[in-house]
Amino acid sequence: MIKIKDLHKSYKMGASSLHVLKGINFEVEEGELVAIMGSSGSGKSTLLNIIGMLDLLDKGSYELDGVPIKDLDETKAANYRNKFLGFIFQSFNLINYKSALDNVAMPLYYQGIGRNLRMEKALHYLEKVGLADWAGHLPNELSGGQKQRVAIARALASDPKVLLADEPTGALDSTTSYEVMELIQQINDEGKTILIVTHEDDIAHMCKRIVNLKDGIIISDTKVKQVRAKTKEYV
């Protein structure tokens, strides 16, 4: 599903440059649930941004579902993102003046899907995350956990190949974090490929594999016994 070989990324810092990713080799199979961990400055967010086509690699190769991701202009990158990827952010990134239903329908609008089918699909995904009764509510009328559920429904609406979650529980208390992770685990149980950037060890162990980055290098890549969020039991 994801194949990255010898990935390098640097950023210009005045007269010098900062080498953020230093020859990353990384593969993700379809249906995996992978946590990417590392301290601030380790390169984990940069890696997620490159996988999400929000940033470009300097050297190396990146394939997503068999498609080489290279020589992208902004239009092509946007088309690929819409086709392949769903994003979940720490800060939810909902549109404040649009209802939960309209927020979920937004990616479908950009795919050119007609309004009636858009709304039907959006409601289906709100039902999936347990928020059908909140479809008409604005984001400021929702709790943090509900906002993240709307964001997850929006990420799922376009039926992406891969979900990318950047600190999806970072703005939530521990109880709500576990509820969100329970939902993410259920989505993964249905076969969806999911990558999660997190600095929280308990959240990482709710995944099936943990990749640790330090100073732009993968220092460990381990399959783990998954802790189920609902029961906090190993499987």
Tell me what pLDDT residue 81 has.
Answer: 87
To which residue do tokens 């080498």 refer?
19
Tell me what pLDDT residue 233 has.
Answer: 62
The amino acid present at 226, given as its one-letter code, is: Q
Token reading at 18: 């900062």
Region for residue 72 given its phi and psi (left: phi exceeds 0; alpha: psi -120 to 50; beta: otherwise): beta
Per-residue model confidence as pLDDT tens digits over 77-117:
888 888 899 999 888 899 999 999 999 999 898 888 999 99
pLDDT (average), residues 116-127: 94
Average pLDDT, the chain: 92
- Domain boundaries defined on the chain: 30-58+73-234
Per mean pLDDT, which range of 70-74, 104-108, 202-206, 225-229 is the poorest? Answer: 70-74
Is residue 215 within 8 Å of residue 42, measured between CB atoms? yes
Q: Could you give the CA distance from residue 233 to residue 9 in angstroms, rounded to a whole number?
A: 38
Instruction: Give the list of residues 6+ apart from residue 25 with CB closer than 8 angstroms, or none.
Output: 4, 5, 6, 7, 218
Is residue 8 within 8 Å of residue 23, measured between CB atoms? yes
Tell me what pLDDT residue 98 has.
Answer: 95
Tell me what pLDDT residue 91 has.
Answer: 85
Per-residue model confidence as pLDDT tens digits over 126-175:
999 999 999 999 999 999 999 989 999 999 998 999 999 999 988 888 88
Compare 171 and 201 and report the one with higher pLDDT: 201
pTM beyond 0.85? yes
User: Rg of the chain over CA atoms, in angstroms?
Assistant: 18
Is the domain spanning 30-58+73-234 CATH 1.20.1600.10? The answer is no
Compare 234 and 104 and report the one with higher pLDDT: 104
Tell me what pLDDT residue 76 has.
Answer: 83
